[in-house]
Amino acid sequence: MFSLLTQMIPNSEAHTSPATDAVHGEVLAPAVEHVAHHAEEAFSVTSLITHHLSDAVLWPLQIAGFDMSITKRVVMMWIVSFLMLAIFIPAARFIVRKVYSRPGRFSGAVEMLVGFVRNGIAADTMGKDGKVYVPYLLTLFFFILFSNLLGLFPPMGELVHFVAVQTGMAAPMDAHAPATEAPLALKLWPGITSTGDLSVTGALAGISLLVIFVSGFAFQGIGFIKNIVPKGIPAPLWILMWPLEFIGIFTKAFALAVRLLANMTAGHMLLLVLMGFIFQYQNYGVATASYVGSVGIFMLELLVAFLQAYIFVLLTALFVAGAQHRH
């Protein structure tokens, strides 16, 4: 959503003007002129949304004939991973070094979040058995949270590229060129919500499913598969219920994946539409309303980013707890 202006000018001719690569509103006026000039290629909210919510291959990669291309979401996931390592490894050192003194702001915040996942999620759902799952739940929570939040963060690559173009250090990009030919800065921080794709949320939910099955078998043995039907069900009903309960396990995991995906996509779509109105209508009244509305939605999205990470992890923990004991 931070590169609205670049998309507004679908014409390569427009790129001769420095204003065309503008990322933010300060160069609105010249851009608007361009749009007016190229009225035949009208601004399309649909293409704006499509562009921002769609993944794109940045570096094609085939491994044994299998498409393992590095896409925008893959790069963002790596940035998330890097941030997690950059935050939690030093935090662990801080905490260990000063474990008996008053925690500082940074280690205190990390400790609070770790305590939140540990006590508020693992211990509350699984009790003492939850201890083993804490590292997994922590990683899952922060992986989703950071992915969600980075989706709200401006694509740094685009900002860097904009500055580079302004200072004449880089050539303006061709908006119609394939993403694989995008400038390196854009490829390094493409700015997309990793969790806004079913492949990503599905993979995470799949791992959750695996954990559910593994702990089910670890705690109940092979009986886990039989015990998914609640106790005290008469035999004829049991036959009817077992398939439902069995499919239910997968449904729950699927719901995990879709819930996260839908929440992340819907919020971004709303933001894009609100901001798209500005370019669609080019009217100060609409622009003001859109601005106020999108700031509000952005705040809400920050909450949703946290909430969805929490819900995903909490439900995973609940399903794992459910698999540990017969109910």
Binding site for another protein (CB under 8 A): 7, 10, 46-47, 49-51, 53-57, 60-61, 66-71, 73-74, 77-78, 81, 84-85, 88-89, 91-93, 95-96, 99-100, 110-111, 114-115, 118, 134-136, 138-140, 143, 173-180, 182, 194, 197-200, 202-204, 206-207, 261-262, 265
CA dist., res. 147 & res. 205, Å (int): 15
Nearest residue (CB) to another protein, 229 versus 313: 313
In 98-155, alpha helices (H): 105-115, 124-126, 134-152
> Least distance to another protein from the beta carbon of 135, Å?
4
Q: How far is the CB of 131 from another protein (least distance, A)?
A: 8
* Identity of the residue, 99 or 244, whose beta carbon is nearer to another protein in the bound complex: 99
* CA max distance for the chain: 77
Q: Is 191 left (phi over 0), alpha (psi -120 to 50) or beta?
A: left
- What's the Rg (C-alpha) of the chain? 24
Residue number with CB closer to another protein (199 or 220)? 199
Minimum CB–partner distance for residue 69 and another protein (Å) = 6
In the chain, the N- to C-terminal Cα span, in Å, equals: 47
Shortest distance (Å) from residue 252 CB to another protein: 18
Long-range pairs, 303-309, Cβ under 8 A, ≥24: 304/148, 304/263, 304/264, 304/267, 305/145, 305/148, 305/149, 305/151, 305/152, 305/264, 306/145, 306/148, 308/144, 308/148, 308/195, 308/259, 308/260, 308/263, 308/264, 309/141, 309/142, 309/144, 309/145, 309/148
Task: Please give the Cα distance from 250 to 258 (Å, whole number).
Answer: 12
Nearer to another protein, 194 or 227 (CB): 194
Using the minimum distance from each CB to another protein, give the nearer residue, 143 or 277: 143
**Residue 302 carries which side chain, given as an amino acid letter?**
L
Q: Least distance in Å: CB of 136 to another protein? A: 6
Q: Residue 19 or 228: which CB sits closer to another protein? A: 19
Residue 284 Cβ vs another protein, minimum distance, rounded to whole Å: 27
Q: Which residues contact 213 (CB under 8 A, 6 or more apart)?
A: 224, 249, 323
Shortest spacing between CB 24 and another protein, in angstroms: 18
Rank residues 60 and 221 by Cβ distance to another protein and give the closer one. 60
From CA 4, how far away is CA 275, in angstroms rounded?
Answer: 8
Asked if 317 and 130 count as a contact pair (C-beta separation under 8 A), the reply is yes
- Give the residue with the Cβ less far from another protein, 266 or 299: 266
Comparing C-alpha atoms, which of 213, 211, 229 is closest to residue 221? 213
Minimum distance, C-beta of residue 198 to another protein, in the bound complex (Å): 5
Q: Which is nearer to another protein, 156 or 207 (CB)?
A: 207
What's the closest the beta carbon of residue 265 comes to another protein, in angstroms?
A: 6
- What is the spatial distance between Cα 249 and Cα 227, in angstroms, rounded to a whole number? 12
